[in-house]
Chains A and B, each alone.
Chain A
Amino acid sequence: MNYPVWELYTLGGGFWIAVIAVLHVFVAHFAIGGGLFLVLTEKKGYRENSKQILDYTKKHAKFFMLLTLVFGAVTGVGIWFAISLVSPAPTSRLIHTFVYFWAIEWVFFMAEIVAIFVYYYTFGKMQRDKHLLVGWLYFIFAWLSLFMINGIIAFMLSPGAWLETGNVWHAFFNPTFWPALFFRTFIALMLAGLYGFVTSSWIKDPDFRERMIRYCAKWLILPFAFLILSGLWYLSAVPEGAKAMILGRSPEIVPFFRAFIWLSIIIVVAGLLFSIRMPGSIKRPMAFVLLFIGLLYMGSFEWMREAGRRPYVIYEFMYSNSIPVEMEQEINEKGILSLAKWVENRELTDENMLSAGREIFNLQCISCHSLDGPLNDIRPMTAKFGVYGMDSMLNGMGKLYDYMPRFMGTRQERLALARFIVEDIHGKEVTEHTPAEVPVLDFDIPPFDPDQDEYVLLAWNTLGLKCITDCDDYWSLLPPGNTIYAQLVRRDFLPEIVLDDVVITYQVDDGFENPADHVAFWDNAHSIVGREIPRNVGLAGLGMQGEFKLNENLMTFVAAGIPVVPYSDDGTINPYPFIHVEARDKNTGQVLARTKTVAPVAAEMGCKTCHGGEWRVQGRMGISAETASDVLRLHDRRNKTDLMARAQAGNPVLCQSCHPDPLLNATGDPELLNMPAALHGFHAHYLTDRQGAEACNACHPSDPDSLTDCKRGVHATTINLDCTSCHGTLEDHALTLLKGEYEKGKTLRAERLMRNIEPRLVVSLEDINPRTPWDQQPDCLTCHQDFGRPESHEVSAFNVWNDDVGELYRLRSDFMGLMCQSCHGATHAEYPSLNKYGRNRDNVQPMQYQGEPYAIGANNNCAVCHVMEMDFEAHHAGMLDGTRNRLDSY
């Protein structure tokens, strides 16, 4: 914000700080522990009157001096150089807050230099006690240096009360000061032993060499117990957020944490093994191996400490990208380009989006991410994204996984950054969004003779669209299974819903009889649903042709779970294949009535927008292996699952095997959020504040330009309502589901997701009415009060849910048993609907029985069932008013 940014792309992302710092601390801690080692070893030499030990000590002192004084001291200065180049703002903050503490440290540094020079150059030439005193002075000053630096480094992780008081003593003696000091002291002692291995393995006399190596092994191993204890103390003092981060919330830290634990064991065991007598020619290289392990050990600790304070560089005060926490809101309101000092592009225009994006990248990303470099390379992390996906990623960044700061800036600035990453870094060409090309398919309306025919057969799909996930080799969220309802009405002045002595059968369109040839569900059924399922048969046992079963409660015939897929044997994709339905007399076999209805089905979930990959089939539909794998990898990373490994081993899972879901009657793991709550609650973070149904369309096949365009009903196509009119925006929608889970006791999981979601259609979370997915939905009567005309098109059905599952539109009927959908059509395809694949593809029955696409019986078409006109609104009020929203032609 305040400073120019060094465009250090390849070796950016803190590379130089990491390299210099890890090497420095490895030597600097030795500079402390090694000091004590020198003086105690010298003392041992005097005590044992051993010239050998004294000679060794002097040699070790030379090694020590050359390593710590040159490499140690200069890399210490090097860290300072590096941080002031890469993160000048926090460096400046540390310098100004602690200037006199640094100055004190400088005094200790000066005294250290004098002491080690005097110690080495007067070795054997000074009175023993005085020489030892110089050695002690060295150690004391070196340790005091640690005392000072430790306070400042610990401050960055746990500034504690300083955040409120601004008092420098609170800053210095912060919550992790003491445990970190002890921890580092013990590490320093261990390192003294480790470095001691190196010099002692060079001793020529084998007996003496082994003796000294065992002596060094004690240095390595004895402090270890204290190291562990102080480590636990240290961890307990770390701020809660950072502790959680270290213990697993940040997947980046997990390998380092594991490495630290393993290396602890390895170092101790290796130290013991090293004490076993063996030739110098083996010990010498081994000593360097051990030293290298020590470097990794130190490195993993420092990495955890640094990464643990993410997304801050100074905890809760300044973000890793040097933006002060207190500026976040202002930046979001005014824009980072207008507030940063070192930018060229103050205003965004179409022309400067990429160069402005680059400047935003510099300001917000470069401090942690390299470009094609070894540290946090941004390229592979963002390779899968297009502009929309990248923008959405930035939208949600830092909210749930707060080891990264959130994006800070305006919406347009976010887009500029996304475009820079996608178009400039990845060189992807961004093409104009073009509507899917959809064929208009011919079809016949089944015949109906109003004078002769005795029966009216009504059939419909209950959901209006069955989404399927056709990536069954990887996972399954929605297995194929379309449910068709049918009611047979015997025409009469007083019509009858026929329930007895009738058989109703169905058959899918030609070319759709072999879904198993097109999706891998059946190949993986055993893994997905726990049992083998015959090819082309659905979960409820129905195949591509079969018989409806009567549901007496609903007075409806039901064919549940017909596994239709949108892929035809002729290679075409059609999300709206027909199901042909026929009613016969059970006794005579005489055909009573025939009709057909679409079995809408799509595999057009937009996972690929953010998870990468292309459409699986013909570049038009379906979830590809690449997309599906990314979903699993992220799920594994975030939730510590092994779904990808299971999929690769041929054992893909059904998401609902863990996540409960009323749609599939899946109880899953009752501790976990139900499937819709988890999915919407998670993804809502990445799709906030979108206009209209944009967020819905990002994942569902509801985009008017999509291949499926599932909203065919009158509400969407004629009145131009969108998903949000009934379901609320994604944020609202997600909150209703999460609050439902919260109230069922899944408080922690629900709260974690709700925390960062702001409702949009109501004022606060308090106003959100919780609901159970699928069982509770928007109610038609919220807008159509008393079945009447809504006040306007601006009404919203959001936030009023049915109490009982039986009140759902798809399960409701009039008091005579005629189901709402039998006359009004499927959800999302309410009559008169419009289907891109043929205007009346969803209006088959109104066209068949009345010659117009409006609700059955509307516009005085009572004769369809009643064989004559009626003047009594028997089914519901207002039904004789006539259709308000007529189509231009049909």
Chain B
Amino acid sequence: MDPSGLIPVADSIPTHWGWFYFFLILTFILHLLLMNVMLGSGIIALARHFKKGSDPCPICKDISLKLPYQIAFTINFGVAPLLFLQVLYGQFIYVSSIMMGVYWLSVVGILIIMYYSAYIYDFKYDQWPNLRLYFLILMVVLALVIAFFFSNNMTIMLNPEKWTGYFDDRSGTMLNLSDPTLIPRYLHFVVASIAVGGLFMAITWQFKQDPKAAAHIDQGMKWFTYATLAQIGVGLWFLISLPQEIMLLFMGGSTLHTVIFLLGLLGVTMILVFGFKKMVWPTTAGLIMTITLMVLMRDLVRNAYLSPYYHPSERTVMPEYAPLFIFLAVLILGLGAVFYMLKLAFEAGKEA
């Protein structure tokens, strides 16, 4: 069966595809950073608990306070890229979601349990010195499960030739386990989370007037650098697991792909150097740059996968620009309000 015949007809879009592409990349970077911080912090706290038992753990306490916010904003900043992804790639993502409908819908329930686990870990941190660990474990495991489902969905959508599997099983229980990129791709995100979680820990303790702050910063940077080192290996695994023609695009097959890849490698080198030197802010800047390049690469990979079938530039545009401008205005006002409220919160002497 020709998979191209299965690809649904896409709806028209109201503005040039570039706008959506821009918003998709931008909000995905933010989502990724937040998700990395959340998951990484959770994993680091868990590791600390395992290592130190029920000894006092100021790092964990701090993480417990922040996890609920991180989850809230991870979700919020996940909504936006998922919206723009559906705008540009709806005909692929809806299909892949249906293929794994059972798992995909379960994300909702899992997320609620994960979120409440994080709140319990936070609110009962001091009251339940033993039990709290189980809620953290639950939170981290569920977050890892959700991430796994996302990795599956994001890879099924790229492979229309696998969609014919629907005709063998229409119950929404397909996963993409046979895809060689699945595991390295998944690990690439998880390991990145550990690194970013470490860096976030270092950043956090930069602001604290605590005698042990320096040690915590040091620890955070260690998490970051070692995880990043491991990430190089995982990244290479991911790269070589890609279909050859796609991998070769980054090996000189396409100038754009190769340049972005090289810049990414440069970024990694840079953040490793900064990381080993415990330079928190340069590392942070380098990380944001590197993640941006990685997200762009990820998108090039997506378009390479879909190139036999589709490119977002092919979309029919039925121009309607006023809502875009209103959105931009609302975004500015909304961000203004957010910053104003945060300012009030900080002025009130309490971190919000």
Interface residues of A (CB under 8 A from B): 2-8, 16, 20, 66, 69-71, 73-75, 77-78, 80-82, 84-85, 88-89, 91-93, 95-97, 99-104, 106-111, 113-115, 117-118, 121-122, 125-127, 130, 133-134, 137, 141, 166-169, 341-342, 344, 362
Given contacts A8-B101, A99-B83, contact A73 B72 (CB under 8 A): yes
Chain A residues with Cβ below 8 Å from B101 are 6, 8, 85
Contact, CB under 8 Å: B98 / A81: no
Chain A residues with Cβ below 8 Å from B348 are 122, 125-127, 130
Chain A residues with Cβ below 8 Å from B79 are 77, 106, 109
Q: Per-residue 0/1 for B10-24: is the Cβ within 8 Å of any A Cβ (1 yes, 0 no)?
A: 111111000010010
Contact, CB under 8 Å: A117 / B350: no
Chain B residues with Cβ below 8 Å from A69 are 72
Chain A residues with Cβ below 8 Å from B9 are 2
Q: Which of B305-352 contact A (CB under 8 A)?
A: 318, 320, 322-324, 326-327, 330-331, 334-335, 337-338, 341-342, 344-345, 347-352
| A544 CB to nearest B CB, Å | 63
Contact, CB under 8 Å: A88 / B87: no
Please, how many angstroms separate the alpha-carbon atoms of A117 and B344 in the complex? 12
Contact, CB under 8 Å: B349 / A103: no
Chain B residues with Cβ below 8 Å from A169 are 322
Given contacts A88-B8, A107-B334, A114-B341, 8 further A-B contacts (CB under 8 A): A6-B171, A66-B119, A92-B11, A92-B90, A99-B20, A111-B334, A341-B6, A341-B8
Chain A residues with Cβ below 8 Å from B77 are 110
Contact, CB under 8 Å: A3 / B8: yes
| A752 CB to nearest B CB, Å | 36
Q: Which 4 A-B pairs have the closest CB atoms?
A: A100-B323, A78-B108, A107-B334, A126-B348
| A634 CB to nearest B CB, Å | 33
Chain A residues with Cβ below 8 Å from B331 are 103, 107
Please, how many angstroms separate the alpha-carbon atoms of A654 and B343 in the complex? 80
Contact, CB under 8 Å: A75 / B108: yes
| A323 CB to nearest B CB, Å | 13
Nearest A residue (CB) for B85: A95
Please, how many angstroms separate the alpha-carbon atoms of A104 and B99 in the complex? 30
B134 interface residue (CB < 8 Å to A): no
Contact, CB under 8 Å: A4 / B330: no
B255 interface residue (CB < 8 Å to A): no
B143 interface residue (CB < 8 Å to A): no
Please, how many angstroms separate the alpha-carbon atoms of A137 and B72 in the complex? 18
B181 interface residue (CB < 8 Å to A): no
B73 interface residue (CB < 8 Å to A): yes
Taking a contact as CB atoms closer than 8 A, the residue among B69, B90, B108 that contacts A20 in the complex is B108
Please, how many angstroms separate the alpha-carbon atoms of A368 and B15 in the complex? 34
Q: How many residues of B contact A (CB 8 A)?
A: 72
B104 interface residue (CB < 8 Å to A): yes
Nearest B residue (CB) for A341: B6
Chain A residues with Cβ below 8 Å from B320 are 167-168
Contact, CB under 8 Å: A113 / B115: no
Taking a contact as CB atoms closer than 8 A, the residue among A81, A100, A110, A111 that contacts B327 in the complex is A100
Taking a contact as CB atoms closer than 8 A, the residue among B12, B86, B108, B338 that contacts A77 in the complex is B108
Q: Per-residue 0/1 for B274-303: is the Cβ within 8 Å of any A Cβ (1 yes, 0 no)?
A: 000000000000000000000000000000
Interface residues of B (CB under 8 A from A): 5-15, 20, 23, 69, 72-73, 75-77, 79-80, 82-84, 86-87, 90-91, 94-95, 97-99, 101, 104-105, 107-108, 111-112, 115-116, 119, 163, 166-167, 170-172, 318, 320, 322-324, 326-327, 330-331, 334-335, 337-338, 341-342, 344-345, 347-352
Chain B residues with Cβ below 8 Å from A101 are 323
| B10 CB to nearest A CB, Å | 8
Chain A residues with Cβ below 8 Å from B171 are 6-8
Nearest B residue (CB) for A71: B112
Subset of 14 A-B contacts with CB under 8 Å: A2-B91, A3-B94, A4-B163, A6-B101, A8-B101, A70-B112, A71-B112, A77-B79, A81-B104, A85-B104, A96-B11, A99-B87, A110-B77, A125-B350
Chain A residues with Cβ below 8 Å from B323 are 99-101, 104, 168
Contact, CB under 8 Å: A100 / B326: yes
Given contacts A7-B172, A341-B5, contact A92 B86 (CB under 8 A): yes
| A54 CB to nearest B CB, Å | 16
Contact, CB under 8 Å: B115 / A81: no
Contact, CB under 8 Å: A81 / B76: no
Taking a contact as CB atoms closer than 8 A, the residue among B75, B83, B322, B344 that contacts A73 in the complex is B75
Given contacts A66-B119, A168-B320, contact A118 B342 (CB under 8 A): yes
Please, how many angstroms separate the alpha-carbon atoms of A789 and B251 in the complex? 93
Please, how many angstroms separate the alpha-carbon atoms of A77 and B97 in the complex? 14
Chain A residues with Cβ below 8 Å from B98 are 3-6, 85, 88
Given contacts A16-B105, A103-B327, A121-B352, contact A134 B344 (CB under 8 A): yes
Please, how many angstroms separate the alpha-carbon atoms of A122 and B87 in the complex? 38
Chain B residues touching A, majority SS: helix
Contact, CB under 8 Å: A130 / B344: yes
Please, how many angstroms separate the alpha-carbon atoms of A80 and B94 in the complex? 11
Chain B residues with Cβ below 8 Å from A93 are 11
Contact, CB under 8 Å: A6 / B108: no
Nearest B residue (CB) for A114: B338
Nearest B residue (CB) for A133: B344
Chain A residues with Cβ below 8 Å from B72 are 69, 73, 113, 117
Which of B10, B87, B116 has the most C-beta atoms of chain A within 10 angstroms of its own C-beta?
B87
Nearest A residue (CB) for B335: A107
Contact, CB under 8 Å: B334 / A102: no
Taking a contact as CB atoms closer than 8 A, the residue among B15, B108, B322, B352 that contacts A118 in the complex is B352
Contact, CB under 8 Å: A92 / B94: yes
Chain B residues with Cβ below 8 Å from A3 are 8, 94-95, 98
| A82 CB to nearest B CB, Å | 6
| B23 CB to nearest A CB, Å | 7
Chain B residues with Cβ below 8 Å from A130 are 344, 348
Contact, CB under 8 Å: A74 / B83: no
| B325 CB to nearest A CB, Å | 9
Contact, CB under 8 Å: A342 / B166: yes
| B168 CB to nearest A CB, Å | 10
Which of A66, A81, A109 has the most C-beta atoms of chain B within 10 angstroms of its own C-beta?
A81
Contact, CB under 8 Å: A2 / B112: no
Contact, CB under 8 Å: B108 / A74: yes
Chain B residues with Cβ below 8 Å from A102 are 83
Please, how many angstroms separate the alpha-carbon atoms of A106 and B24 in the complex? 13
| B243 CB to nearest A CB, Å | 24
Taking a contact as CB atoms closer than 8 A, the residue among B104, B107, B326, B338 that contacts A110 in the complex is B338
Please, how many angstroms separate the alpha-carbon atoms of A562 and B170 in the complex? 62
Chain B residues with Cβ below 8 Å from A89 are 8
Contact, CB under 8 Å: B87 / A95: yes
| A93 CB to nearest B CB, Å | 6
Nearest B residue (CB) for A7: B170
Nearest A residue (CB) for B345: A118
Nearest B residue (CB) for A70: B115
Contact, CB under 8 Å: B111 / A74: yes
Given contacts A20-B108, A95-B90, A121-B345, contact A103 B80 (CB under 8 A): yes
Given contacts A74-B112, A96-B12, contact A85 B97 (CB under 8 A): yes
Taking a contact as CB atoms closer than 8 A, the residue among B10, B94, B342 that contacts A84 in the complex is B94
Chain A residues with Cβ below 8 Å from B350 are 121-122, 125
Nearest B residue (CB) for A16: B105
| A42 CB to nearest B CB, Å | 15
Nearest A residue (CB) for B318: A166
Please, how many angstroms separate the alpha-carbon atoms of A104 and B334 in the complex? 9
Contact, CB under 8 Å: A114 / B167: no
Please, how many angstroms separate the alpha-carbon atoms of A134 and B23 in the complex? 28
Chain B residues with Cβ below 8 Å from A71 are 112
Contact, CB under 8 Å: A77 / B75: yes
Which of A103, A108, A137, A344 has the most C-beta atoms of chain B within 10 angstroms of its own C-beta?
A103
| B68 CB to nearest A CB, Å | 8
Contact, CB under 8 Å: B105 / A81: yes
Given contacts A16-B105, A118-B352, contact A4 B95 (CB under 8 A): yes
| B337 CB to nearest A CB, Å | 5
Contact, CB under 8 Å: B80 / A117: no
